[in-house]
Structure 1
Amino acid sequence: METLLNRKDIFGLTLAELQEALTPFHVPRYRAKQIAEWMYKRGAVSFADMTNLPKQLREELGAALVIGRPKTKDRLDSVDGHTTKFLLEFADGTAVESVLMRQPYGNSICVSTQAGCSMGCAFCASTLHGMARNLTTGEILAQAITINDMLRAEGQGGKVDTVVIMGSGEPLMNYDHVLGFIRLLHEDYVLGMGYRNITLSTSGIVPQMYQLADEGLPISLSVSLHAPHQELRTELMPISRKYPMEEVIKAARHYADVTKRRVTYEYILIDHVNDGEEQARELVSLMRGQLASVNLIPINPVAERHLLRPSAARIDWFEHYLTTHHVNVTVRREMGTDIQAACGQLRNQHLQD
């Protein structure tokens, strides 16, 4: 991506790509790793910050290259201090949401892969304004680095420990950039994150699910299921017309077989829509024989969607039914309910304003 000043943006480049970008400057190859570590691990936003580079080189690089970082357009902090939602704006004015969740096991972040979403799910705020565009590898990575920089500045050894690719957008519809982001996260000159600390969530883009299984990356896969049969799932998730539930389940089974990683099926609980005994019974049948678990997500109501959250009693009953029928099940821990926790709500507010 070129900036308005026609300087090449190097944020999001791999070490090899960075070495290539530096070729016109006739610098030793080791300089590329120094620059990468400054950008990704030490929070440098300009070459002037890179004090172990010669001053003249810093000036030459600064005149020709730019380190593209978003600005924080908005920030919301939950009252309990556990959750922070960011609205980050890129150079072209496109803004996306990212969320920091301070969990007992460490700091987890949720990143977006597209500005908006085209999946059209009936319960989701991200899709209300459609999709603006895919994010680049650098723009996805910038969300993680921005939050990691903030945690480091807070002191006490704070850093991003786990990443969920579960924000706005369908990751597998932006496959190459998302895979580039995952691979960069793992590099020692970036965050050195283990692949097992990364989770990708998909609405069920079947060809790319098979492709992901063949990548040889032991990341965790979450599949947005939200209904135990095709008819209801299609009402909630229009993508199910193109990729029927039976094919999605088959691809998820393949992913588990190849990677030996347990697949998680995300199941949003919607009052008197998919939380009854009939749906619980069908879901138990669907899970039988799978290396999988179910994550129940009581819906965060979105005003425009007119879908309601089940009562605590109905949520408890549904969980108990699955448990007693030997399904591995969790109920998603509530975080950030006071700061528009549902994906897309903060961005939509700014778009309307």
Structure 2
Amino acid sequence: MSATPVRLQLSATTRGARGKPPRHFVDLTPQERVEAVTALGEKPFRAKQLATHYFTHLTNDPEKMTDLPKASRDVLTGDLFPQLLTATRTLTADGGTTVKTLYHLFDDAKVESVLMRYANRTTLCVSSQAGCGLACSFCATGQLGLTRNLSTAEIVEQVREAARALAAGEVPGGATRLTNVVFMGMGEPLANYKAVMGTVRRLVAPAPDGLGMSARNVTVSTVGMVPAMDKLAGEGIPVTLALSLHAPDDELRSELVPVNTRWDVDDALDSARRYFDATGRRVSIEYALIRDVNDHAWRADLLGEKLAARGTGWVHCNPIPLNPTPGSRWTASDPAVEREFVARLRAHGIPTTIRDTRGSDIDGACGQLAAEEDQ
């Protein structure tokens, strides 16, 4: 393993002029929505009607808002529902039950989301940034650099579109609802804290002000931005926290995950434990297993020791077979090594489950999202 230091990249890589997304209904609080519709000359109750169409009926199409006068529909949707996302390519896998969608944003920035249908749940992996500025060396998104943060509405629109497709029966298996959202797409969610928390609040708010999802079914991932993790613990919204660790020792983790030079392994794990203490929600430790890099038996033991030293019942470990990315010099661990890694963690009393990865054949699995036009 090379000891060459990796530069911590936290600033945006400029890719042409980027502006602020236009104001959208979703960006507004319920009171701000009332103020917005009255400013357009409409009655205050129109705000609730719009919210019901968007969050309950999952539509922003004025033609479907038949309980509003035609003239009001055109004015309200024209001002409050600008088109933020345009789907430009869709790829499917697993018999059509895994769907990766490439979206162009209003300024031609690109993001991807991945919808996965299982027997007992449906999960959407959303992007919170176009690109990513944290430069994790094994992640395709991290190699893009950061284009910009997404707005709350741009993130929620990914969710609404997935929920709409499921409700319309467009994914094999018949009509159903979206049950889980994971912030594990493009970007570092806690580096776009305000918009991500705005999204979380829209997801968990009861209808008609939000989608009415359970906070337990929303997962926010991070590579270990400790101040933001601690802030999240104080929000009073018990989402699941997923910490992408990938190495238990600082020397290796600083190479794989450059943010470790700012907040090291112990800093991140201490913060994760504080999150559990504040919320009662068990933390997930994500660990991409890379052949002959971080899959050594002694590293499994070290990880198990560090997790167990912080108590019991607070954590669950998810080793993830490394997903291939173009040009990467690294590959997934040998299955026998993977099994030994899991066994050693369990021997330390750490609940451990190999993460089920889907969509790798369409570059839709963890670490593969690169928003490429042609595949």
Look up the equivalent residue of 1:242 and give its one-letter code: R
Query: What residue number does 2:89 align with?
Result: 74
Query: What residue number does 2:299 align with?
Result: 279
**Aligned equivalents of 2:356 and 2:46: distance in 1?**
44
Query: What residue number does 2:235 align with?
Result: 215
**Cα deviations by residue, 1:178-197 (Å, 9 ceiling, x for unpaired):** 00000001121232101111
Query: What residue number does 2:152 align with?
Result: 137
**Cα deviations by residue, 1:266-297 (Å, 9 ceiling, x for unpaired):** 01100011111110110111111251111000
Q: Please say if 1:228 is aligned against 2:248.
A: yes
Query: What residue number does 1:332 align with?
Result: 355
**Aligned equivalents of 1:159 and 1:170: distance in 2?**
26
**Cα deviations by residue, 1:211-270 (Å, 9 ceiling, x for unpaired):** 100101111101011001111110100000011111111111110111111111101100
Query: Could you say if the C-alpha distance between residues 63 and 227 of structure 1 is closer, same or farther in structure 2, counting changes exceeding 3 Å?
Result: closer
Look up the equivalent residue of 1:125 and give its one-letter code: A
Q: Please say if 1:19 is aligned against 2:42.
A: no
Look up the equivalent residue of 2:268 and give its one-letter code: V
Query: Could you say if the C-alpha distance between residues 231 and 48 of structure 1 is closer, same or farther in structure 2, counting changes exceeding 3 Å?
Result: same
Structure 1 residues without counterparts, runs of 5 or longer: none
Mapping of residues 179-198 of structure 1, within 5 Å: 179-187=197-205, 188-189=207-208, 190-198=210-218
Query: Could you say if the C-alpha distance between residues 349 and 67 of structure 1 is closer, same or farther in structure 2, counting changes exceeding 3 Å?
Result: closer
**Aligned equivalents of 1:273 and 1:77: distance in 2?**
31
Mapping of residues 130-169 of structure 1, within 5 Å: 130-154=145-169, 156-169=174-187
Match of 1:226, SS state, is coil
User: Offset at 1:7?
Assistant: 7.7
Mapping of residues 48-63 of structure 1, within 5 Å: 48-63=63-78
Aligned partner (choices 202, 206, 228) of residue 226 of structure 2: 206
Q: Does structure 2 retain, via aligned residues, the 8 Å contact 1:11–1:69?
A: no
**Aligned equivalents of 2:367 and 2:148: distance in 1?**
14
Q: Does structure 2 retain, via aligned residues, the 8 Å contact 1:270–1:307?
A: yes
Match of 1:75, SS state, is strand
Query: What residue number does 2:10 align with?
Result: none
Look up the equivalent residue of 1:280 and give its one-letter code: A
User: Offset at 1:63?
Assistant: 5.0
Look up the equivalent residue of 1:101 and give its one-letter code: M
**Aligned equivalents of 1:62 and 1:261: distance in 2?**
39
**Aligned equivalents of 1:331 and 1:85: distance in 2?**
22
User: Offset at 1:348?
Assistant: 4.4
Match of 1:133, SS state, is strand
Aligned partner (choices 40, 46, 54) of residue 31 of structure 1: 46
Match of 2:75, SS state, is helix
Match of 1:139, SS state, is helix
Aligned partner (choices 245, 268, 291) of residue 265 of structure 2: 245
RMSD: 2.0
Match of 1:330, SS state, is coil
Query: What residue number does 1:173 align with?
Result: 191
With the length of structure 1 as denominator, give the TM-score of the two structures: 0.93
Match of 2:31, SS state, is helix
**Aligned equivalents of 1:330 and 1:345: distance in 2?**
21
**Cα deviations by residue, 1:287-339 (Å, 9 ceiling, x for unpaired):** 11251111000100213221111111111111122123321101001311221
Aligned length: 348
User: Offset at 1:154?
Assistant: 0.8
With the length of structure 2 as denominator, give the TM-score of the two structures: 0.88
Q: Does structure 1 retain, via aligned residues, the 8 Å contact 2:100–2:113?
A: yes
Aligned partner (choices 322, 326, 331) of residue 299 of structure 1: 322
**Aligned equivalents of 1:269 and 1:334: distance in 2?**
13
Structure 1 runs of 4+ off > 6 angstroms?
none
Query: Could you say if the C-alpha distance between residues 58 and 177 of structure 1 is closer, same or farther in structure 2, counting changes exceeding 3 Å?
Result: same
Structure 2 residues without counterparts, runs of 5 or longer: 1-18
Match of 1:327, SS state, is coil
User: Offset at 1:137?
Assistant: 0.1
